[in-house]
Structure 1
Amino acid sequence: MKIDDKVLNKLDFPKVLARLAEFCILPRAKELALALKPDVDIEFVRMALQKTEEAKNLMRGNPLFSVRGAKEIRAYLERCLRGGVVHGEELLEIRDTLRVGRKTKQYLQEFRESYSGLWDIVLPIESQKSLEDEISRCISEDGNVADNASPELAELRRSINRLQNRIRESLEGTLRNPVYQKMLQDPIITQRSDRYVIPIKQEYRGSFPGIVHDQSASGATLFIEPMPVVQLGNELREVILKEHREVQRILQMLSAQIEGRADEIADLHEALAQLDLVIAKAHLSLDMNAGSPELVTGQQLKLVQARHPLISGRVVPLSVELGIDFDTLVITGPNTGGKTVALKAVGLMAAMNQCGLQIPAESESKMGVFTQLFADIGDEQSVEQSLSTFSGHMKNIVDIINRADERSLVLLDEVGAGTDPTEGAALAMGILAELHERGCRTISTTHYGALKTFAYETPRVKNASVEFDTETLRPTYRLLIGIPGKSNAFTIAGRLGLSEGVLAKANTFVTEREMQVADLIENLGETRREIEIEKLKAETGRQAVEKQSKALEEKSNRLDEEVEILLALARDEASELVREAKREAEALIEELKSALKKENKQQQDIEKARQGFRKISAKLDQGRQIKRTGGELTADQIMLGQTVYMTKVKQKGQVVKLPNANGEVQVQAGIMKVMVPLTELKLAQEEKKAAPKRAREMGMGFRKAEEIRSEIDLRGMLVTEGTEALDKYMDDAVLGGIGMIYVIHGKGTGAMRAGIHDFLKGHPHVRSFRLGEYGEGDSGVTVVDLK
C-alpha cells in the first residue's frame, strides 16, 4: 500500500524533495531523494527518523562529515561488466569512491553503539584496499598509466626516451651543419604525423635528403624528416605502438579486477548513496530548524508551533491536533484566511514524517503513521475530461469514500463548493458524516455556516477558524481550535464604504436564528481571544521566572568557584609559609651543629630544637588543611575527555589519561600535557552540567585525538574545502603533539598545491613547509613543520 503521487503533488511534496536533493552529493543519492515516498510501516518510519537524528548529532561533533570524494561510478561498472575498459581518470574515481567507503565505515565503526542506524547503512561495505592500492600503483594522479605499472612498460618508456634523445641530437646536428643552414626556413625541430621534421624551403627540396611529411599552406615550406633519422623514427614508432599495447593491457587488467568485484563495489556505492541521503535529511532539518516529533501508535497528530516548510520569511506558526480528543476538524472563515495553507501544512508534515524527514515544529509535537493520505485541494476543473470544478471535486471525493478507512488522513478543501449553497452544505455534511463514522481523521475547510452547527452537535467533531482582524481587514493566519469562523461580510462591506442603508436592508434578510448564531460566534471568539491573551501573559511570566532562576543559579555557581579559588590561594600561601619556616629552621640547625659539634650536651639541645621545629611544622600543616567543599575528585569519577579545573595553576584542561598508581592524572591544557594529583583537580562548571553520555562521547573523541595520523589526504576536494579540512587537522595535530605532518594534495593541475601553500604562509601553527622529496610523494605532497 502506498500513497498516491497525485495526492503528494497537490501538497507540493515534490518541492520538499527537490530541496532535499540539493543537499545530496552523489547523483544516486539525488535520485533516491527525488523518489522518496512516505512509508506506512511504523517501525520503518521510526528507524528512518532515528537515522536522521543520528546524522544531525554526528554533524554537531564533526561538521565536515560527508561522503565527499566519492564519485558516480555506476556507468564504469556497467562498462566493465560488458567487457569494456575503464580509463585512467575513471579508475581514479573508482579508487576514490572505494577509499571513501572504507574510511567512512572505519570511522562509524568506532561509534557504532552511538550511531547504530548509520552503522547499519555502511555495514554492507567491504574493504577493497588491495584494489585501491593496485589502482594507485598503476595510475598516476594525472590519470595516466604510471611507469612502474609493469616492468615492460617502464623499459619501453626508457627506450622511447633514448630514441627521442638520439633523434633530437641528430636533428640538432643537422640544424648546426653550415651546409644546410641556408636551406632552413626556421632553425627549429617540430613534429608532423608523430615524426620529427625540419622546415625546409621549397626550392631546396632536391638538395635536402629526406622524406616530406607535410607542406605549409603557401607551399613555401616543406616539413622533411632527414634521412639519417628515418630509421630511428621507424624504431621509435614501433616502440610507441608496443607501449600503447602495454598500457591497454594494464587498463584491461584493472578493468577485469573491477569486473570480478563489481557486486561488492556496487553495494559500497549504494551504501554511500544511502548514507548521503540521510546526511542530506540532517542538513535539510538544520536548514528548516526542524526536529523529530514523538512517534505514537494510532492515527493521531499534534502539531505545536509548526511552520510550513516551503514558506520562507516570517511564518505564523500553526498549532493543531487530530485523533486525540476529536477525529474531524471543520475550519470555517473567509477566503485568503490561510485555511488552504494550514490544510497543506498538515498533509506535508504527515508525508515528511513518514519519509524519515524531521518537521519544522516544536518538540512537543506528536505524529502517528497513516496508511493512506487523501487530499482534495485546489481547482479540479478539467477541460480534457469535460469536468466542471464541482464535478472534478466530486470525482475525487467518490474515490476517497471508496478507499478511506479508520487509518486514513483525509484533507478536503471547500467541501461541497461549486453548486447550490443549500444542496452543497447538505452534501458536505453527508460526506463528513460518512468519513467520521468510518473513523477517518479528517480536516475540512468550508464556507457553509450549516457545518458549524454540524460540528457542534456531532461527538468528536470540532470547529476551528482562521482569525481575521476586522480593523485591518487582514487575516492573522492564526488557527483557533474550538471557535467557528464567521464571514465578516457586513463588517468588511461597511469598512469599505457600503452605505448603512444598504447594510440595514441586507440585515432584514438574515433570520433571527442566524443573527443569534452570529452573535454567539462573536462572543465565543472574543472569549477565546481573551483566554489566548491571558495564556500569553502567563507564558511570558513563566519564561521571565525561569530566566531569573537560571541567572541566580549561574551567579551562585560563580560565587562557589570564586570561594574555591580563594581557598586554594590560602592553601598555597600556607604551604609556602611552612616550606619557608622549614628551610630557615634547617639552616639554623646546620649552623649550630657545625659550631658546637664537639659538645654533646649542646648537640642534644640542637636535636630538641629540631623536634620543636617539627612540632611547629606539623601544626602549620594541620592548619592548612582547610575544609574541602566537595569539588575534589576520586579516581572512579575521572573519565577520558572530561573538562577539569586545576586548582594549583588556576587553569582548565581535558583528561587524556586516567589516574596512575600515584593518583596523578594527565591533563591537556592548550598544547601542554601535565601530570596533576587528584587532590588538585575538580570538575569544571560545564562538566558538572554535561550528561554522562556526552562525557563518554567526548572520551571517545579524545582517544581518537591521541591516535591522529601524521598525514591528511585532500585529493578530490575543492581548494576551499581542502584548506578548511587542513586548518582543523592542524589544530588537532598541534593538540596531539605532532611536530611534522604530510599534506597529500596530488599533482594534477597544481591549483590545490598552490592554494595549500598560500594558506600555509603565515599560519600561526606553521614553522616552515616544503614539497616532498623522492620517496615522500614528490610534488604531490607538502611536508609541514609545526610549531
Structure 2
Amino acid sequence: MNRHALEVLDLQGALDRVSERAASTLGRARVRALRPSTRVDEVAAELDRVAHTMTFAADRPGWGPPAIPDPGSALARLKVEGSVLDPAEMHRVGDLLEASRVVAEALSDESGISLVVLRRRLPALTEVEAAIRRTVDAEGEVLDSASSDLRRIRTSLRSAHTRIVRLLERYVADLPDRFAVDDASVTVREGRYVIPLRREGRGHVGGVIHDESGTGATIFVEPPVAIDAMNDLRDLEREERREIQRILRTLTARLHPHAGELADALDALVDFDALHARARAALEWRADPPEVLASPSEGLRLVGARHPLLLAQGVEVVPYDLDLAPDEHTLVVTGPNTGGKSVFLKAVGLLALLAQSGVIPPVRRGTRLPVFTDVFADIGDEQSIAESLSTFSAHLERLRELVEEADAGSLVLIDEMGTGTDPTEGAALARAILETLTARGARTVVTSHLGALKTLDTEGSGVVNASLQFDPERIEPTYHFSKGRPGRSYGLAIAGRLGFPSALLARAQEFIDDGAASLDDLLERLELREREAGELVDRLRGRDEAVARREREVADRAAVLDEREKRAEREARDQARRLLMEAREEVESAIRDVRAAGAEAIDDAARSARRQVEEAARRQRDDAPDRAGAEGPIPDLAVGGRVRLPGGRSKGRLVELRDERAVVEVGGLRMEVAAAALQPIAEVEGARGGAAREERVLERGWSGEVPDAAMEIDLRGLRVDEVSLALGRGLDGAVLGGLSEVRVIHGKGTGAVRSRVQELLRDEPRVADFRLGVTGEGGAGVTVVRFR
C-alpha cells in the first residue's frame, strides 16, 4: 500500500484514537500496528470478527477485558528445561492465567465462530493459577502459604529476630553510662543486628564493628553475646532461601508443559483486547459493518459516512452518502473553498483504509466497500525546499507517480486538481489525467475549481459531477453532499461578504467568460429549484406526520370510547342482575309471609315467580352485548315507547334519541346503545301483572349480595317447612355461579326432608335430573342434582 497515501490520509492517527479503547498496553500496540490488507477474504473475515465482538460488547455495556500482563521473557524461559522463574515473573504468569480464565468465561455463551475459535485458545489451568496465587504476591514476594516448611521456617525466623533484639536491648541497658549513647536502640548494619556505642567503649565490649557515625565518635558493634544468635539466624535465612528456590522450581516445572499454551493464550488475549477496542469504537460511532466487495469494478457505496478524526474531536459532523455505479469511475467534486471538499476527499480514502485494516469505519447499513489493491493521494502542500520543488512541481511529481502505477484496482484521490499554474493549461492537463485514469478503470475522486472539469460528465464518459452544498444567503457551507451536478465557486459572493466594494465586484463579473457565467446561472437556478423542492417536501412530510398523528389520536380516542361503552354495558348488566336478585328476595319474603299465615297452597305460585326472576338474572349475566345489530338502518322509534334490547330478551322504555345512539331505561337503570340495534314493541293492554309488579320491585333498588355458588347445599337440622327457602337459595347460587351439578345434604333421619327435597326438585325447571348419592358421596343422606 502506498506509504505516502497512508500518511496524508492519517491512517495512523485514526488507529491511535481507536487504540485508546484497549485495556492493555499490548492491546493498544496491536491496534496501532494494523495495516490495510489487499486480500478480500482477510478483510471480510476480520470485519466479521469485529462485528461479532460488537454484538458481544453491546450485550455487556459495563464489561471490559481484564488487564493483560506483559510477561516479558518469562514465557521464553518457560520453554527452557530446568529454568526457574523468579517471584515477579511467576506473578505475571498468574495474571495471564487469570485474564485467560475471565475472558474464556465471558465468551462461554458466544456462538459466533470467530469468538468460539478465540475462546478455544484460552487454557483453563485453574489449579496452577490457584497455586501461583498461594505462592507469590503482586510485590514479587513469596508468601508463607507457599508451603508448610516455609511457614515453619519464617515463624522460627521471626522468633530469632525477636530474641536477638531483646538480648541486645538488655545488653545496652547494662552498659556503663560512659560507654552508652543517648537514646540508643538496636539497629541493623550490613544485615546484622548491632548496638551504638561510644568509641572509648570498644575495648570493654569487644565484638565486630560494622559501621561508625560521620564524626567517628559512635561505632556500631555486634557484641560477642549476639554472634551465636546471629549465626543461628543466618542458618534460618539460608534454609528459607533454599525452600523458596525449591518452591519456585517446583511451580515452574508445573508450568513448563504449558509453555506453548501460555504463549498462545497471551496472543489470543491481546487479539481479543484489540478486537474489543475496535468493536467499542464502532459502537461509539454508531457504525454498521460494511459489505465487502471483491473488486472496485463492482462499484462503491457509502451510507451515513463521517470522518473518524472529526468524530474524535467531538465536532458536529454532517454525514454524507456516496454511490458510484460500476460504470462511474471518476467523481469530480466542485464548489467553493471552505466547503469541506478536502475533508470529504480524505474521508473517502480513510474509510476505505480503515475497513481494509480490520476497523469498521463510521458508516451505516447499506455501505458497500471494494477492496483496493492500492491507494494514491495527492492532497495538501507538497512543496519541498530540500529537493528544490515548488508546490506545483511537487504535485506534478505525485501525479506522474499515480498515473504510472494506478490501475483498475486502485483508489486515486486528488485535491484541487489543475491549480498552481495557468488555468487553461492546468485544466487541459487535469482533463488528460482524468480521462487516462477513467479509461484504465481506476476509482478516482478529485476536487477542483476548474470550470472545464465540470463539463466532463457526459453520457458513457464514466465521469460524474458532485458538489458540497453552500448556503448562498448566509454565504457559508452546509457540508451536504450532492451527486449529479457541479457546484458553484461563490468566489465573488464570498468577496462581497468580506467587504469588497460592489463596483469592483460588478466589474469583476463583467470579466467572467460568457460560457462560465451561463453555467453558473444554470447552477444557480438548479439550486433554487432544489431548495424549493426540498422545502415543499419538508412541508408535505410535516403534513403527513400531522395527519398520521391525528389518525393515531382518533384511533386512541375511539379505543377509549369503546372501552367506556363496554364498561358501561358491563355495569348496566351487573346492576340489572342485582335488581333482579332483589326481586327474588322480595318473592322469598312474600313466601315467608304467606307461610307464616298458613297458606301452603301458595307454594306453586311462589316457585313460578322465583323461576321467572332467576331466569331473567341468568340472562342478564350470560348475555354479552350484541353488536351485530348495531349496523344497518335505524328502525322507527318513538321516545317513550317500549323497545327490545340487543339479544332479544330484555325490554325497556326509550328515553332519548341522540343521532345514531339511544338512551333506554330498563328497570330504573338508563343505558346508551346503538339505535339500529333496538326493536320497537307494541304495548299490550292488560298484560300479565307479573311484569308490572317486577318493574315496581326493581324501582325500589337493592344493595344485597348475590348468593355464593357452592358445590353443596346443607339442609341438615332444618324443618320440612324451612327446606323450600334454603334449597331455593342454594340452587340460585349454583345456577348463577355456573355450576353443572350440586350435592344436597339432607341426612337420612325419617326421610321427610329428603322427600320434600325430591318433590321440589321434580318441579324445578332448571334441574335436568337428580339421584341419591352412592358410596363415597353420602349414600341416601345426599341427593346429587345436575342442571340443564
Q: How does 1:139-158 map to 2 (within 5 A)?
A: 139-140=136-137, 142-158=139-155
Q: Give CA deviations for 1:622-644 in whole Å, capped at 9, x if unaligned.
A: 69xxxxxxxxxxxxxxxxxxxxx
CA contact (8 A) 2:209 2:222 kept: yes
Q: CA 1:238/1:527 → structure 2, altered by over 3 Å: closer, same or farther?
A: same
Q: CA 1:418/1:65 → structure 2, altered by over 3 Å: closer, same or farther?
A: same
Q: Give CA deviations for 1:569-625 in whole Å, capped at 9, x if unaligned.
A: 999x99xx9998358x97x93xx53x46xx8x799x59x9569726633531469xx
Q: How does 1:371-450 map to 2 (within 5 A)?
A: 371-450=373-452
- Quote the residue 1:482 is aligned against: 484
CA contact (8 A) 2:381 2:391 kept: yes
Task: Give the superposition deviation at 1:71.
Answer: 1.4
- Quote the residue 1:87 is aligned against: 86
Q: TM-score, normalised by structure 1?
A: 0.69
- Quote the residue 1:512 is aligned against: 514
Q: CA 1:12/1:158 → structure 2, altered by over 3 Å: closer, same or farther?
A: same
Counterpart Cα distance in 1 of 2:705 and 2:88: 74
Q: How does 1:377-776 map to 2 (within 5 A)?
A: 377-456=379-458, 459-494=461-496, 496=498, 498=500, 502-503=504-505, 505-540=507-542, 581=708, 589=714, 593=716, 595=717, 613=730, 616-617=733-734, 619-621=736-738
Counterpart Cα distance in 1 of 2:555 and 2:129: 57
Task: Give the superposition deviation at 1:179.
Answer: 6.5
Name the SS of the counterpart of 1:261 in structure 2. helix
- Quote the residue 1:193 is aligned against: 190
The AA in structure 1 aligned to 2:204 is S
Task: Give the superposition deviation at 1:59.
Answer: 2.5
Corresponding position: 1:138 with 2:169: no
CA contact (8 A) 1:77 1:258 kept: no
Corresponding position: 1:267 with 2:264: yes
The AA in structure 1 aligned to 2:391 is T
Task: Give the superposition deviation at 1:181.
Answer: 9.9
Q: CA 1:505/1:301 → structure 2, altered by over 3 Å: closer, same or farther?
A: same
Task: Give the superposition deviation at 1:101.
Answer: 0.8
CA contact (8 A) 1:456 1:463 kept: no
Counterpart Cα distance in 2 of 1:382 and 1:263: 51
Q: Which of 182, 204, 208 is equivalent to 1:207?
A: 204
Larger Rg: 2
Name the SS of the counterpart of 2:469 in structure 1. strand
Q: Give CA deviations for 1:185-229 in whole Å, capped at 9, x if unaligned.
A: 435322222222222333333323533322222333332323222
Corresponding position: 1:304 with 2:303: yes
Q: CA 1:566/1:29 → structure 2, altered by over 3 Å: closer, same or farther?
A: farther
Q: CA 1:532/1:582 → structure 2, altered by over 3 Å: closer, same or farther?
A: closer
Q: Give CA deviations for 1:70-96 in whole Å, capped at 9, x if unaligned.
A: 312243323545676533233222212
Counterpart Cα distance in 2 of 1:194 and 1:506: 93
Counterpart Cα distance in 1 of 2:381 and 2:520: 30
Task: Give the superposition deviation at 1:370.
Answer: 2.5
CA contact (8 A) 1:301 1:366 kept: yes
Name the SS of the counterpart of 1:302 in structure 2. strand
The AA in structure 2 aligned to 1:465 is S
Task: Give the superposition deviation at 1:352.
Answer: 2.0
- Quote the residue 2:4 is aligned against: 6
CA contact (8 A) 2:282 2:288 kept: yes
The AA in structure 2 aligned to 1:100 is A
CA contact (8 A) 2:179 2:197 kept: no
- Quote the residue 1:171 is aligned against: 168
The AA in structure 1 aligned to 2:237 is I
Counterpart Cα distance in 2 of 1:174 and 1:557: 100
Counterpart Cα distance in 2 of 1:392 and 1:90: 54
Q: Which of 19, 22, 35 is equivalent to 1:21?
A: 19
Name the SS of the counterpart of 2:457 in structure 1. helix
Task: Give the superposition deviation at 1:567.
Answer: 13
Name the SS of the counterpart of 1:433 in structure 2. helix
Q: TM-score, normalised by structure 2?
A: 0.68
Task: Give the superposition deviation at 1:269.
Answer: 0.8
- Quote the residue 1:225 is aligned against: 222
CA contact (8 A) 2:709 2:733 kept: no
Unmatched tracts of structure 2, length 5 or more: 579-620, 622-703, 741-788
- Quote the residue 1:120 is aligned against: 117
Task: Give the superposition deviation at 1:356.
Answer: 3.2
CA contact (8 A) 1:330 1:464 kept: yes
Q: CA 1:348/1:501 → structure 2, altered by over 3 Å: closer, same or farther?
A: same
Counterpart Cα distance in 1 of 2:706 and 2:433: 94
CA contact (8 A) 1:289 1:360 kept: yes
CA contact (8 A) 2:50 2:358 kept: yes
Comparing 231-240 with 59-68, greater Cα deviation is found at 59-68
Counterpart Cα distance in 1 of 2:12 and 2:251: 41
CA contact (8 A) 1:76 1:90 kept: yes
Counterpart Cα distance in 1 of 2:539 and 2:48: 36
Q: CA 1:546/1:440 → structure 2, altered by over 3 Å: closer, same or farther?
A: farther
Name the SS of the counterpart of 1:199 in structure 2. strand
Name the SS of the counterpart of 1:443 in structure 2. strand
The AA in structure 2 aligned to 1:144 is E
Task: Give the superposition deviation at 1:279.
Answer: 0.9
- Alignment size in residue pairs: 606
Corresponding position: 1:58 with 2:56: yes
Q: CA 1:527/1:191 → structure 2, altered by over 3 Å: closer, same or farther?
A: same
Q: CA RMSD in A?
A: 3.9
CA contact (8 A) 2:68 2:270 kept: no
Counterpart Cα distance in 2 of 1:219 and 1:189: 18
CA contact (8 A) 2:466 2:482 kept: yes
Q: CA 1:221/1:492 → structure 2, altered by over 3 Å: closer, same or farther?
A: closer
